[in-house]
Structure 1
Amino acid sequence: MKATGTRPKIIATTDGKGVVGHAGARLLADLAEVTGLCGQFSHALAGLRQRDSGHDPGRVAVDVAVMIADGGEAIADLAVLRGQPELFGSVASDATAWRVLSGAAGSGLGGLRAARAAAREVAWAQRYETRGGLPSSMAGDRPVAGLVLDIDASIVVAHSEKEQAGKTWKRTFGFHPLFCFLDNTTEALSGLLRTGSAGSNTTADHITVLDQALAQIPDPHRYGTPILIRADTAGGTYGFLAHVRSLRQQGMDTCFSVGVPITEPIRAAISTAGKDMWQPALDADGGVRDGAQIAEITHLVDPQLLANYPPGTRMLVRRERPHPGAQLDLFDTINEMRHQVFATDTATGSLQYLEVRHRAHARVEDRIRCGKNTGFGRFPSRQFAINTVWLELALTGIDLLAWLQLLLLDGELAKAEPKKLRYRLLHTAARITRGARQVRLRIAASWPWAAELAAAFTRLAALPRPVT
């Protein structure tokens, strides 16, 4: 057997000059500039500035968002940016960053949200001008018309005593935040930090998160584009669906697709569904899914139950052979099939398409999983108000990653999860040189993604700038 080659011997020293790490993270910092986010944050937090020579609070907030997008988990991780002034400029101390987060709590939170909305409008305009429109949300290998908003909650465990952390329904201790993501672009439109004991199907919280998400959408899209709002059974409350329907009176073309709990009246409707009502369900790629069927049971549901939903609501049910280890209730066990029911007020479209469109809501779980590695999986402060600001900056970091992919990347990297982006692009090492009145970021020619990183910087320089 041929032995593998040995690694070259090395000697580590600390006298390197002009060498920087996390070179790709500069893309995120520059995106905050060219979308106007940095200026908007500065305006929103202008009242926190103590002296002209001090750090701009808006710039400090942007640096925290960039650090979070780059994979940082604590304020102390700002040292990665601060230790490379030739790449990131002057970065505030940890103490200054804490003061900014504390000062932004409360009334400053609304300003940060408004700043994000203004920057999003610019980013979307840049996308339209350079690449011809937003991506479509896909279901069954078909595009979904308009925008698709996915709402879901998740448990964030706290490993120490923090204000408003509490016992969760999963018998853990921490928080139970609620989020809304835009499926078309993976942007994090809104998030609501809640105590661990907050209910899953709280109507008021769902309305708050949805309204904050809609406020993030630029006016031409909010009022001129179909908007589908998806949620699991937690979002299937009568009050929330009535609110979604009421948005039409404000000029928004909204509709819903939400899970429905299988109560006794729903079980009765499923039981009376004839064999001829069932048709094959589809896979995510549009092919027929073996062992899964769907049917519409609207006309079989108790009219008194249906009257609680907005007019035109349809009830659809999916059944499939349970996977090994699936947890079934007594109804499913007797029928030897697993059932799921959802409600929608979309009047047209095949049952197969409507069902696979609803099932695509599961992608929000991937968004939340990635988000927990992008800031909101660990809240740094004991104070609830500071953690709400941290959450807003985490959502900003997720947006910066989304804009990076929307505006600057192609191919596989344009669809990659944050972990892959960090490993391949953001954490790339490079060398900074100066000459002919220019500063050059020299990426190693042997780096497998050097061309993609250089191309991203080229596209960044060519982006149209907002008029100030």
Structure 2
Amino acid sequence: MQTTATRPKIMVTGGGRGVVGHAGTRLLTDLADATGLTSAFSDALAGLRQRQRGHDPGRIAVDLAVMLADGGKAIADLAVLRDQQGLFGPVASDPTAWRLLSRLDEPALAVLRAARAQAREVAWAQHAEARGDLPQPAVAGRQVDGLVLDIDATIVACHSEKESATRTWKKTFGFHPLLCFLDNTGEALAGLLREGRAGSNTTADHITVLDQALAQIPDAVRHGTPLLLRSDAAGSTHGFLAHIRSLREQHHDIRFSVGAAITAPVREAILAATDWVPAIDTDGDLRDHAEVCEITGLLDTTGWPDGTRFIVRRERPHPGAQLSLFDTIEGWRHQMVATDTPPGNGSIQHLEARHRAHARVEDRIRTGKNTGFGRFPSRHFAINQAWLELALTGIDLLAWTRTLLLDGDLATAEPKKLRYRLLHVAARLTRTARRTRLAIAADWPWTDALTSAFSRLAALPRPTG
């Protein structure tokens, strides 16, 4: 019988010198400087500085965002940065960080969003110079041109009384934030913290989040690049779609692809439809027992924007699928997509598969909850909204790290993988010849990836002016 070798015996002491943890997290702080995020935050929050020799409010905000990107869950986790001053420099105390968050009211958050957009413009310009165009999403073996914005809401449960935390439609208790992510890169463009009982299909909230997301996209890109807005059925309100259409009158080349409810007229159209064709998976292969059909000509489209098309997908339900009475009778599970992509821009199979790729936003939300907005620290709603904004900033820093500095599987890795392989690595900090050196273990499997990332970071062009 073969047995596993025993672990080597060790003796633990506390006498190590020059050893630091979370060494790879320095990559995030330096990237914040390289993209101009730190200076932009400092300028935006200059009016909140209380003492000339005190901590820079913008630097505090960046340190909080870095801490969240690194996997921290509470302000107390700033200690990981603060207690390693040789690596991260001076970091504010917990009470100082709390005071900053308490002063970030809506006007302050507005200037923070503008600062984040300014840094994003720099990051995208750096990407264009160093690596070319931004990544393009691919669905069913075909590239989706332009930028793809995904809007979705999520429930964040609370386990104590917090301002505006209420019972949710899922019979839990907490908040119901609405978020927008960029599918091309995984960046978090916008987020709106809402009370738990906020409706799923609230037109005003969707408009607010979309407008904030568009404001994050540089003007030169926003006005010259095709944009696709995807949402589930919560985004199919006529008011929201009318707002999207109005943006086209402002020279935004934007189209929508949203889920739509299966109503009685839709069910009648489904029964009358005859032109069913095989559906495809997001990898381009035919999907067994699934079909799609366009039913636009069989529906009354009053109230919908001109040119809206309706594509229905039906498939044999898998065990445990939630079915309506209509689905149960017909033996198919039905879903419908409403889009204003005109004919000639892809088959209905591709358009339907393109919409189903919206499900990727669920991964963005899942990892985002582990990057700050899965837990809100305060009883005060305004502080929690500020926390959400900094969490979105941390998500951006991770996205820029992947697109600007990493290759291979790390360029598409989720935050947990980045933390375990790069950010949380230990290293030795030494000072020789007036220079500080960070030495990562030679036999760590991802040492080359991390040192290459630092080299690429050093080579990035810096913003001027």
Name the TM-score, length of structure 1 as normaliser.
Answer: 0.98
CA distance in 2, matches of 1:461, 1:343: 46
What's the CA shift for 1:56? 0.2
The equivalent residue for 1:321 is 316
Q: Which residue matches 1:291?
A: 289
Taking the aligned partners of 2:107 and 2:15, their CA distance within structure 1 comes to 46
- Which structure 2 residues correspond to residues 62-461 of structure 1 after superposition, within 5 A? 62-274=62-274, 277-301=275-299, 303=300, 306-347=301-342, 348-461=345-458
SS in 1 for 2:310: strand
CA distance in 2, matches of 1:59, 1:16: 30
Counterpart of 2:61? 61
Compute the displacement of 1:15 (Å).
2.2
Q: CA deviation at 1:307?
A: 1.6
CA–CA separation in structure 1 for the residues paired with 2:149 and 2:141: 18
What is the CA deviation profile of residues 160-215 of structure 1, one whole-angstrom value per residue up to 9, with x for unaligned ones?
A: 00000000000000000000000001000000000000000000000000000000
Backbone CA RMSD of aligned residues: 0.7
Q: Please tell me the residue identity of whatever aligns with 1:323.
A: H
Q: Which amino acid in the other structure matches residue 377 of structure 2?
A: P
Determine the C-alpha separation between the residues in 2 that align with 1:198 and 1:141.
38
Distance 1:271 1:221 in 2: 43
- Partner SS, residue 416 of structure 2: helix
How far the C-alpha of 1:449 sits from its partner, in A, is: 0.5
Amino acid at match of 1:70: D
Question: What is aligned with 1:21?
Answer: 21
Report deviation, 1:3.
3.0
Shift of 1:12: 2.1
SS in 2 for 1:281: strand
Amino acid at match of 2:281: D
Distance 1:94 1:188 in 2: 26
| 1:235-260, Cα deviation, whole Å (9 max, x unpaired) | 00000000000001111001000000
Q: Distance between the aligned counterparts of 1:387 and 1:15, measured in 2?
A: 40
1-side partners of 2:355 and 2:179: how far apart? 17
Give per-residue Cα distances to partners, 1:42-98, cap 9 Å, x unaligned. Answer: 111111111111000000000000000000000000000001111100000000000
| Residues paired across the two proteins, number | 463
Match of 1:463 among 457, 460, 464: 460
Q: Tell me how far 1:41 sits from its aligned partner.
A: 0.4
Matching residue's letter, 1:279: V
Amino acid at match of 1:329: S
Letter in 1 for 2:211: D
Residue 92 of structure 1: SS of its match in structure 2? coil
Q: Could you tell me how far apart the structure 2 residues matched to 1:182 and 1:23 are?
A: 28
* Distance across 2 between alignment mates of 1:119 and 1:2: 57
Equivalent-residue separation in structure 1 for 2:49 and 2:262 (angstroms):
54
Mapped to 1, the partners of 2:107 and 2:338 lie a distance apart of 38
Report the alpha carbon displacement of residue 437 of structure 1 after superposing the two structures with TM: 2.2
Choose 138-147 or 308-317, whichever is displaced more: 138-147
Q: SS where residue 23 of structure 2 aligns?
A: coil
What is the TM-score with the length of structure 2 in the denominator? Answer: 0.99
Q: For structure 1, list consecutive stretches of 5 or more residues without a partner in the other structure.
A: none
Secondary structure, aligned partner of 1:128: helix
**Amino acid across the alignment from 2:56:** D
C-alpha distance in 1, partners of 2:199/2:320?
A: 27
User: Cα deviations across residues 21-43 of structure 1 (Å, max 9, x unaligned)?
Assistant: 10111010001000000001011
User: How much identity, in percent, do the aligned residues show?
Assistant: 70
What secondary structure, in the 3-state scheme, does the structure 1 residue paired with 2:106 have?
coil
Deviation at 1:396, TM superposition (A): 0.1
Q: What is the identity, as a one-letter code, of the residue corresponding to 1:221?
A: V
* SS of structure 2 residue aligned to 1:403: helix
Q: Secondary structure at 2:270's aligned position in 1?
A: helix
SS in 2 for 1:107: helix
- 1:419 and 1:260 map into 2 onto residues whose CA distance is 34
**SS of match in other structure, 2:335:** strand
Q: Hey, what's the Cα distance between the residues in 1 that align with 2:312 and 2:184?
A: 26
Separation in 2, partners of 1:95, 1:166: 28
Q: CA deviation at 1:418?
A: 0.4
Q: Distance in 1 between matches of 2:2 and 2:241?
A: 67
Per-residue CA distance 1:329-349 (angstroms, 9 max, x = gap): 110011101000010000032
Following the alignment from structure 2 to structure 1, what is the Cα–Cα distance between the partners of residues 106 and 125? 30
Displacement of 1:460 in angstroms is 0.5
In structure 1, what is the Cα distance between the partners aligned to 2:226 and 2:213? 15
Q: In structure 2, how many angstroms separate the alpha carbons of the residues matched to 1:24 and 1:291?
A: 47
Q: Deviations over 1:89-148 (max 9, x none)?
A: 000000000011111123211011001000000000000000011000111121101000
Deviation at 1:436, TM superposition (A): 2.2
